[in-house]
Amino acid sequence: MILIRIFLLAFNVAAVTYLIYRLLQIYSVPMQASKKVLIVVTGIFLLILPTTIIAGIIKPSFTYLFIYPVAISLFVYLIRKSTYD
């Protein structure tokens, strides 16, 4: 269980850093206000989720370990796609 927490923490540090970087880039891109709000709210939710695991509110599990990276990659893909459209 401790090994899972270490892997989650390492992945979350990288994911949080990249998400913050991408969210800051969203402000410089001209886009509809509704799209910006949706992207920022979703990004903040994805940033808060690892905090709940570190705080012990949600237990780390293999399901989270597989679903969270997929959610992050899908979110980053959607940000890139909406930014370049």
> What's the pLDDT score for residue 84?
66
Has residue 40 got a pLDDT over 80? Answer: yes
Backbone φ and ψ of 60, nearest 5°? -70, 135
Q: pLDDT over 70 for what percent of the chain?
A: 96
pTM score of the predicted model = 0.69
* Both structure tokens of 66: 């597989």
Has residue 56 got a pLDDT over 70? Answer: yes
C-alpha distances (whole Å) from 30 to each of 2, 46, 55 are: 44, 23, 36
The count of structural domains within the chain is 1
> Of 19-23, 49-53, 55-59, which gets the smallest average pLDDT?
49-53
Range 61-74 average pLDDT: 82
> What's the pLDDT score for residue 44?
87
- Domain of residue 15 covers 2-84
Confidence of residue 83 (pLDDT cuts 50, 70, 90): low
At 79, which amino acid appears?
I
Q: Cα angle vertex 28, ends 27, 34, to 5°?
A: 45
